[in-house]
Amino acid sequence: MRREEMVRTIRERAHQKNPWDIAVIGGGATGMGVAVDAAARGLDVALIEAYDFGKGTSSRSTKLVHGGVRYLEQGNIPLVMSALKERGLMRQNAPHLVHDLAFVVPNYSWWEAPFYGIGLKLYDLLAGQYGFGVSKLLTREETLERLPALEPEELRGGVVYFDGQFDDARLLIHLAMTAADHGATLVNYCPATGLVRDAEGYVNGVHAHDEETGEELTIPARIVVNATGVFTDSIRRMADPAAEQVVVTSQGIHLVFDRSFLKGDTALMVPRTSDGRVLFVIPWHGHAVAGTTDTPLDAPSLEPKPLDEEIAFILETASRYLTRPPSRADVLAVYVGLRPLVKGEGKTSALSRDHIIHVDASGLLTITGGKWTTYRHMAEDCVDHAITLGRLRAEPCPTHNLRIHGYLEDSASLGSLQVYGSDAEAIRTLAGDPALAAQLHSSLPYIAAEVVWAARAEMARTVEDVLARHTRALFLNANAAIAMARPVARLLAAELGRDEAWAAAQVKEFCALAEQYRVV
Ligand SMILES: Cc1cc2nc3c(=O)[nH]c(=O)nc-3n(C[C@H](O)[C@H](O)[C@H](O)COP(=O)(O)OP(=O)(O)OC[C@H]3O[C@@H](n4cnc5c(N)ncnc54)[C@H](O)[C@@H]3O)c2cc1C
């Protein structure tokens, strides 16, 4: 993927007054899923993202590919069944990025084993042919064997069940590459600034601003899809200033610790915290991630900040279940995400995780809500609507069996390069140069060749892109990421043809941002 070529294509199409079938605004899981689906059906698709692909919520999730045990408790059986099917398809189509994970629900009261045991049997049942493994009751000893760091006092036993886990930002990058492999044109750092209308007032294109060159771009399109997550209503109001709010924003934070806080390869699941939510402590990229909270917000922002009470809540809840209670000083990173929830009555934690598709009077098609796990199904639904609305000619949806870029069945032997799947070979070749084989920080496995690869093949443009999403350094260890900023800036500057002043400004900007990921 080369940004200059993508921008050139956009420019040429506007010049020729040759409309795209679909223009997508927003490069998170929802928008990128739509781009993959549309391109794989043979449609002509352009996607613009205001920042880096995945900069929004889609890089800030709990990293679970799941049906959602909590939604089962809420009685939303259709959502759970649909998500369990999607979970199976995600693992099937991206085995290099999605894998099984065992979760243990510890039991400290007599009623918990039958209650959660039966609930999780139902979860197995709903997965049907897409099952990841059979849940079962564990003795006290078996529970501690799986979770050696679990508080043993008054522990009676546990229930083990299976779900999926992934690297969200990396899957997003591979979705972008899949869309590009099928002919989609994708541009990052290119916010939509307005909508184009025909003589009758129907939306037939997007105005956008190229942040790198300052150029104003126009993207004529038969259908415009608004997939901007928590920013959905701001785009809807470009079409209709009086449009009612459809999305409410709820903030969730995660704390990242050293893996020693959660020994073993099993995740801990606390089904009911003091505020009635679920808390997970999961092993991820050699660390332990604990989350999440659900705090309603009035307005969305791009870099939401953790609240002190959210940090305290996670530390306090995790401490009740772990033999070594984590403190603020143990937090290696904190990251914050904003859920785009479909507006309804009641607490945000009780709002539906279903998606909605909305077509307004001007023909703008909006898709929002849902969750990462259901991105493929959401995209299929959205493109079906776009085809009907725009009378587009397209092949049937092929994404049930569409392999995601990098598809590799047995990638475990690739070690830390596993997430690249079949692209790992190209990174190893780059690392044949000893200067690029160097590890960038002793606490994290990332090597210089990954930076070069991110710039050459994955459209990384800034130090933050590389450290936050193309590698996950910022999300795993903020201090280590700060220490890596300078060498990363130097490597990127060489790849992108930038000078020393650019590199210095990048380091400064990144270090200021990274402060927000530290807990002091
Ligand atoms: C704390 C938390 C934990 C979660 N955990 C899970 C989980 O474990 N599993 C799961 O399945 N789901 C999970 N989810 C849900 C999932 O992450 C979201 O449903 C999903 O990422 C939303 O994707 P999106 O593309 O709709 O939004 P986003 O990822 O936010 O993408 C929207 C994009 O639109 C861009 N944009 C905005 N305005 C413009 C503009 N004018 N022009 C161009 N681009 C624009 C933004 O920059 C952004 O990148 C979690 C969510 C949260 C908040």
Q: What is the pLDDT of residues 115-161, one digit of tens each?
A: 888 889 988 989 888 888 899 999 999 999 999 999 999 999 999 99
Nearest CA to ligand 1 atom 21: 58
Q: CA–CA separation, 117 vs 161, rounded Å?
A: 9
DSSP assignment string, 114-154: HHHHHHHHHHHHHHGGG-----EEEEHHHHHHH-TTB--TT
Counting ligand 1 atoms within 8 A of each CB, the residue from 59, 225, 231 with the most, and so the one to mutate, is 231
Nearest CA to ligand 1 atom 4: 61
Beta bridge partners of 334: 255
Counting ligand 1 atoms within 8 A of each CB, the residue from 349, 372, 464, 469 with the most, and so the one to mutate, is 372
The H or E element containing residue 218 is strand 216-226
Q: CA–CA separation, 192 vs 169, rounded Å?
A: 22
As a residue count, the chain comes to 520
Question: 499 C-alpha to center of ligand 1: Å?
Answer: 33
3-state secondary structure string across 402-429: CCCCCCCCCCHHHHHHHHHHHHHHHHHH
Using CA atoms, how far residue 220 sits from 8, 30, 196, 202, 207, in Å, is 15, 21, 8, 12, 9
What tokens were used for 139?
Answer: 């003795």
Task: Give per-residue pLDDT as tens, 3-13.
Answer: 999 999 999 99
Q: Which atom of ligand 1 is nearest to the CA of 235?
A: 41
Counting ligand 1 atoms within 8 A of each CB, the residue from 57, 91, 354 with the most, and so the one to mutate, is 57
Q: Tell me whether residue 402 is exposed, middle or buried, using C-beta atoms within 10 angstroms of its C-beta: 0 to 12, 13 to 18, 19 or more.
A: middle
> What is the band of 238 on the pLDDT scale with cuts at 50, 70, 90?
very high
Counting ligand 1 atoms within 8 A of each CB, the residue from 34, 48, 53, 58 with the most, and so the one to mutate, is 58
Q: What is the pLDDT of residue 344?
A: 67
Question: 141 C-alpha to center of ligand 1: Å?
Answer: 40
Helix (H, G, I), strand (E, B) or coil at 445: strand
Q: Which atom of ligand 1 is nearest to the CA of 371?
A: 19
Query: By C-alpha distance, which of 132, 168, 203 is closest to 58?
Result: 168
The one-character DSSP state at 286 is T
Over the chain, what is the mean pLDDT?
94
Q: Which atom of ligand 1 is nearest to the CA of 52?
A: 49
Q: CA–CA separation, 226 vs 235, rounded Å?
A: 7
Q: CA–CA separation, 164 vs 263, rounded Å?
A: 19
Question: 228 C-alpha to center of ligand 1: Å?
Answer: 8
Q: Which atom of ligand 1 is nearest to the CA of 251?
A: 53
Q: Which of 130-139, 209-218, 351-360 has the lowest mean pLDDT?
A: 351-360
The H or E element containing residue 180 is helix 168-181
Q: Which atom of ligand 1 is nearest to the CA of 30?
A: 25
| Structural contact between residues 250 and 341, judged by C-beta atoms closer than 8 angstroms | yes
486-514 exposure pattern, b = at least 16 Cβ within 10 A, e = fewer = bbbbbbbbeebeeeeeebeebbeebbebb
> What is the band of 345 on the pLDDT scale with cuts at 50, 70, 90?
low
Question: 162 C-alpha to center of ligand 1: Å?
Answer: 24
The residues lining ligand 1, judged by C-beta closer than 6 Å to any ligand atom, are 25-31, 48-51, 55-58, 60-64, 191-192, 227-231, 252, 292, 337-340, 370-373
Q: Which atom of ligand 1 is nearest to the CA of 53?
A: 49
The H or E element containing residue 283 is strand 279-284
Task: Give per-residue pLDDT as tens, 278-312.
Answer: 899 999 999 999 998 889 998 899 999 999 999 99
Q: Which atom of ligand 1 is nearest to the CA of 63?
A: 8
Q: What is the pLDDT of residue 346?
A: 56
| Structural contact between residues 229 and 26, judged by C-beta atoms closer than 8 angstroms | yes
Average pLDDT over residues 93-120: 92
Q: How many CB atoms lie within 10 A of CB 435?
A: 10
Nearest CA to ligand 1 atom 49: 56
Percent of the chain with pLDDT over 90: 84
Using CA atoms, how far residue 416 sits from 381, 449, 486, in Å, is 35, 13, 22
Question: 496 C-alpha to center of ligand 1: Å?
Answer: 28
Average pLDDT over residues 400-424: 95
Q: What is the pLDDT of residue 347?
A: 57
Q: Which atom of ligand 1 is nearest to the CA of 370?
A: 19
Question: 146 C-alpha to center of ligand 1: Å?
Answer: 32
Task: Give per-residue pLDDT as tens, 375-399.
Answer: 999 999 999 999 999 999 989 999 9
Q: What is the pLDDT of residue 252?
A: 95
What tokens were used for 215?
Answer: 């150029």
Beta bridge partners of 163: 101
Beta bridge partners of 216: 209
Q: Work out whether strand 247-258 and strand 64-65 pair parallel, antiparallel, or are unpaired.
A: unpaired
Q: Which atom of ligand 1 is nearest to the CA of 56?
A: 30
Question: 368 C-alpha to center of ligand 1: Å?
Answer: 9
Helix (H, G, I), strand (E, B) or coil at 248: strand
Nearest CA to ligand 1 atom 19: 371
